Structure 1
Amino acid sequence: MLVALTVAVSVTALLLAAWCGFAAYRDQPTKDWHFIGMAVVSALALAQLVVGIARVAGGARAADGSVIFFSYLVGALLAVPAAGFLSLSERTRWGSVTVSAGAVVLAVLEVRLHDIWGG
């Protein structure tokens, strides 16, 4: 797995979490700019999924097994979009809190993905 991509996803997810956490602190719901940030983080997670599939197809193996590895990759891909979808139904500060929590979950999933790959 590409360590640089894992770090990039983790850092952007934590930046998104801080940004949405600050919006929640200021009593603001998620805005269009937050959704653009979520799209950037989701695009990086999608790139990570593609790289993961390519690496396994090329013969590399995850230390803890491919099924767990792909499960975490799909979970990482869906964490932020699911939080963004939930924030649309809660148009208060708690929508921003939801996105912030989803981004933190993504950062934790990235650490676990690194461990599963054998890092």
Structure 2
Amino acid sequence: MLDALTSATGVAALLLAAWCGWAAYRDQPTKDWHFIGMAVVTLLTLVQLVVGIVQLARGEEPEQGTVIFVAYLLGAFACVPAAGFMSLAERTRWGSVTVAASGVVLAVLEVRLYDIWKG
């Protein structure tokens, strides 16, 4: 898997978490700009999902198993959009907290994806 893409996705997720965490600290819900940030992070995870599937199709194998690797790829892809939909339902500061938490979770998933691929 591409180390640069994994690192970029993890950093973008942490930046999104800090940004939404700052909004929650200021008692603000998620706004349109936050959703643009979520879209950027989701696009990075989509690219990562496609790259991971292409590498598996080319015969490359993750060190810790294909099934767990694909499960983590799908979880990473779904993490931020799910939190975005939840933040639409909760139009208070807690919506921002939800997105901030998803950014931290995504960063941890990226570290785990790197471990699964490299062993």
TM-score (normalizing by structure 1): 0.99
Partner of 2:86 in structure 1? 86
Partner of 1:113 in structure 2? 113
1:15 aligns with 2:28: no
SS at match of 1:111: helix
CA distance in 2, matches of 1:64, 1:43: 26
Percent of pairs identical after alignment?
72
Runs of 4+ in 1 over 6 A off after TM superposition: none
Once the two structures are superposed, the pairs formed by residues 67-106 of structure 1 within 5 Å of their partners are 67-106=67-106
1:62 aligns with 2:70: no
Once the two structures are superposed, the pairs formed by residues 20-39 of structure 1 within 5 Å of their partners are 20-39=20-39
Deviation of 1:105 after TM superposition, in Å, equals 0.4
Q: Which runs of 5+ in 1 are unaligned?
A: none
Deviation of 1:81 after TM superposition, in Å, equals 0.3
Size of the aligned set, in residue pairs, is: 119
CA distance in 2, matches of 1:118, 1:32: 37
CA distance in 2, matches of 1:105, 1:86: 15
Q: For residue 7 of structure 2, what is the amino acid of its counterpart? A: V
CA distance in 1, matches of 2:3, 2:59: 18
Deviation of 1:118 after TM superposition, in Å, equals 1.3
Partner of 1:2 in structure 2? 2
SS at match of 1:60: coil
Q: For residue 64 of structure 2, what is the amino acid of its counterpart? A: D
SS at match of 2:102: helix
Q: Which runs of 5+ in 2 are unaligned?
A: none
Q: For residue 5 of structure 2, what is the amino acid of its counterpart? A: L
TM-score (normalizing by structure 2): 0.99
CA distance in 1, matches of 2:102, 2:2: 23
